[in-house]
Chains A and B, each alone.
Chain A
């Protein structure tokens, strides 16, 4: 897994590449929470190059979404590959999360 971060007009964009599994998700979680502790409350996850996700990665997304809701923040995901999208659908996360087709749409929604 590789994570790249950039801040565009107060929106923290995470580009997550590779695999979010039981071994890599803790690092993903700590990167997200380091950002929240720095005061970032508007997050966009660009998942264009995320090839694989398991329940460990889904848990981090669910927890982040809940915590941001309580902080009056927001999270938008974009550019999901078919497999990742199906895993989100099976988990029922499509009902809780704002998922956009591409980064431009995500930046409009955040």
Chain B
């Protein structure tokens, strides 16, 4: 007799508004921690979500704004069955994540740049990615399947 695992997966929606300062990363960590108590997923998946959110946020904080003003960055997470949708909005410089080139991770060490890795990580750990520019805002909508895949994703390029 196999063990029947009862999955509790409710519809979940959370949103936070952050400022364009790295200290607000703590708020992301708090939301991911809250998510862990709400949806049924592995610690590993939570680390991947943590990474996706940190890289998106850090990227817009580092590169999104040319002025020195405070800006809002809105992030919402919604989970319906096994699909987690991440939506981020900011009023920074236009940045189309879907058009961002992958870094050359196989070149010689001396030529190896240190940029572009964060977005590369995001793309590796998500299953669908859409970008819109509306009313001077960047809107990124990502989807991630939270169910454990039978095989490890083989995309190390």
**A92 and B106 in contact, given A58-B117, A59-B117 (Cβ under 8 angstroms):** yes
Closest chain B CB from A81 CB (angstroms): 10
Give the contacting residue for A54; candidates B55, B103, B106, B109; CB below 8 A. Answer: B55
SS of A interface (majority): helix
Please give, as numbers and ranges, the residues of chain B lying within 8 Å of A6 by CB-CB distance: none
B117 with A91: CB separation less than 8 A: yes
Please give, as numbers and ranges, the residues of chain B lying within 8 Å of A62 by CB-CB distance: 112, 114
B109 with A66: CB separation less than 8 A: yes
Please give, as numbers and ranges, the residues of chain A lying within 8 Å of B103 by CB-CB distance: 92
B114 with A59: CB separation less than 8 A: yes
Instruction: Report if B68 contacts A (CB, 8 A).
Output: no
Closest chain B residue, CB of each to CB of A51: B47
Give the contacting residue for B22; candidates A22, A66, A82, A92; CB below 8 A. Answer: A22
Q: How far is the CA of A109 from the CA of B148 in the complex (A)?
A: 36
Instruction: Report if A101 contacts B (CB, 8 A).
Output: no
The A-B contact count (CB < 8 A) is: 64
Closest chain B CB from A70 CB (angstroms): 9
Closest chain A CB from B48 CB (angstroms): 8
Q: How far is the CA of A52 from the CA of B22 in the complex (A)?
A: 17
Give the contacting residue for B105; candidates A54, A55, A83, A92; CB below 8 A. Answer: A92
Please give, as numbers and ranges, the residues of chain A lying within 8 Å of B114 by CB-CB distance: 59, 62-63
SS of B interface (majority): helix
Which residues 62-106 of B have a CB within 8 angstroms of A?
103, 105-106
Which residues 43-76 of A have a CB within 8 angstroms of B?
51-52, 54-56, 58-59, 62-63, 65-66, 69
**A22 and B121 in contact, given A59-B114, A66-B110, A69-B109 (Cβ under 8 angstroms):** no
A83 with B44: CB separation less than 8 A: yes
Residues of B within 8 A of A (CB): 22-23, 25-26, 44, 47-48, 50-51, 54-55, 58, 103, 105-106, 109-110, 112, 114, 117-118, 120-121, 124, 155-156
Residues of A within 8 A of B (CB): 21-23, 51-52, 54-56, 58-59, 62-63, 65-66, 69, 82-83, 87, 89-92, 95-96
A–B pairs, 15, beta carbons within 8 Å: A22-B25, A54-B51, A54-B55, A55-B55, A55-B117, A62-B112, A66-B112, A69-B109, A69-B110, A82-B44, A83-B48, A90-B120, A90-B121, A90-B155, A96-B112
